[in-house]
Structure 1
């Protein structure tokens, strides 16, 4: 991460630089020192994060952040301040400040806040990359795409959930991961849904409901016939054994709460089953 420090106290700058470098938080790409912070110059450095002192002469931290945002600077802004008045803090958030770090400077606080902001930035970049791939020029449909879809539909049908609303969403996720040659471990379920649907939360809910229905159906198959082909072949691949067993116990009336499916394991299992067909 490229980090710019807008601070008029040289001792504070020195402390922050030492923390950033010693903790491996990123690269300090510049600081304002005892001169007034220049928004245009800072934006030109293209920092990922700007640490800005709340009370600076000539141009205070809130005004700096506001001007950076007006210039289209995408940097995340962290305010350094001793001020705790709600009105002033509210002004800072309205201007575009993401987090606060209090003075006197504390290594643990600086590290935790900068790391949290860095994780947000990385997550947004990953999601942006997924969206770019999805909105790129239409790709030619490969001959095996329709075959893959039919096989995935067959698996969903064997689980008894092909008519569930979430079944189509599961298909979209599986086919997307196959097209991009991306393991499901590389991206979160929320990010996949954001990339594939204008209403990601609803899509994720549909997927989870369909998976829960699939687990209930498999558990019923196992209770009727423990050697059932679909139960034996799909059960341990799609669901953790202990969760599937809990669902079976719920149906037996031995417990009040059933098993819980893991979306990533289910999707990964679907892709494994696809290879076997």
Structure 2
């Protein structure tokens, strides 16, 4: 089924460009366009789109405010933030409200297509999980899922160049734990720190090992930063590298990758910023 999409941006050229890309690549049907935040939550509730492409900065209300209001009214679709904002506090707030995907200005067709294709896959997975979660799975099927998950994770870790990193077993346990939650209930929400605590408890129960939370968290973050650095190197060498295209936007902020890529040979190169939950959620999406 084609996805229903609402576009909210005060720049008519941006709206036209997004509509063109969506229609050209058969990514869905644009059912409504808005030029400001006024009445946006009401329109979203009425149209009930699968996806809302929403500008960060809008007249009347900003994108985050509209998201909060829409979710409060019961909207359960997906938001993609359109942004040229560099303020990390504002971007972090958007992540906290549930945004896992950004489209950066100026609009790039490859990025829009990649974001929407991954998001559409996410929606399909959620709906499939909703059907499956009430179905009794026998032991052989469960074991098959477990084996497939292991194989998929090894391939992803290998693609990202982190398969041999210290602590990769910790990351695998975290991702496997979240996958089990999602397979039971695709709408399950969680705080990453709570997942870390549960995995640490499992270590204590199954292996009799006591693990410090801070050390555990730092190991995971080091691995994510390593994957980020590897991705930046790939993109700098070949922007159309298939591994780069497959993982860069779903696991990281593509704008942050571009910033680091542009400074790789500069003297003022800085450490990139990563969102650990986005990284983990992206891998979960790839595996489920």
TM-score by length of 1: 0.50
Aligned-CA RMSD value: 3.4
> Corresponding residue for 2:68?
66
Q: Secondary structure at the match of 2:133?
A: helix
Instruction: State whether residues 51 and 78 of structure 1, in contact with CA within 8 Å, keep that contact through their aligned partners in structure 2.
Output: yes
Instruction: State whether residues 76 and 98 of structure 1, in contact with CA within 8 Å, keep that contact through their aligned partners in structure 2.
Output: no
- In the alignment, which of 18, 28, 31 is matched to residue 30 of structure 2? 28
> Corresponding residue for 1:49?
51
Following the alignment from structure 2 to structure 1, what is the Cα–Cα distance between the partners of residues 114 and 183?
28
Q: Post-superposition shift, 1:33?
A: 3.1
Change (3 A) 1:173 1:130: farther
> Corresponding residue for 1:172?
139
Q: Secondary structure at the match of 2:42?
A: helix
> Corresponding residue for 1:155?
none
Q: Post-superposition shift, 1:72?
A: 1.6
Deviations 1:214-246 (CA, angstroms, capped at 9, x unpaired): xxxxxxxxxxxxxxxxxxxxxxxxxxxxxxxxx
Instruction: State whether residues 69 and 96 of structure 1, in contact with CA within 8 Å, keep that contact through their aligned partners in structure 2.
Output: no
Q: Secondary structure at the match of 1:84?
A: coil
Change (3 A) 1:194 1:66: closer
- Structure number with larger C-alpha Rg: 1
Q: Which has the higher contact order (CA 8 A, sep 6+)?
A: 2
Q: Secondary structure at the match of 1:20?
A: helix
- In the alignment, which of 10, 32, 38 is matched to residue 12 of structure 2? 10
Change (3 A) 1:193 1:57: closer
Q: Post-superposition shift, 1:88?
A: 0.8
Q: Secondary structure at the match of 1:31?
A: strand
Q: Post-superposition shift, 1:95?
A: 2.1
Change (3 A) 1:132 1:80: same
Q: Secondary structure at the match of 1:97?
A: coil
Unaligned runs of 5+ residues in structure 2 are 150-175, 189-194, 200-288
- In the alignment, which of 119, 124, 143 is matched to residue 121 of structure 2? 119
Q: Post-superposition shift, 1:133?
A: 3.7
Structure 2 matches for 1:1-277, cutoff 5 A?
1-33=3-35, 36-134=38-136, 171-174=138-141, 195=183
Deviations 1:129-175 (CA, angstroms, capped at 9, x unpaired): 101344xxxxxxxxxxxxxxxxxxxxxxxxxxxxxxxxxx9x5244x
TM-score by length of 2: 0.48
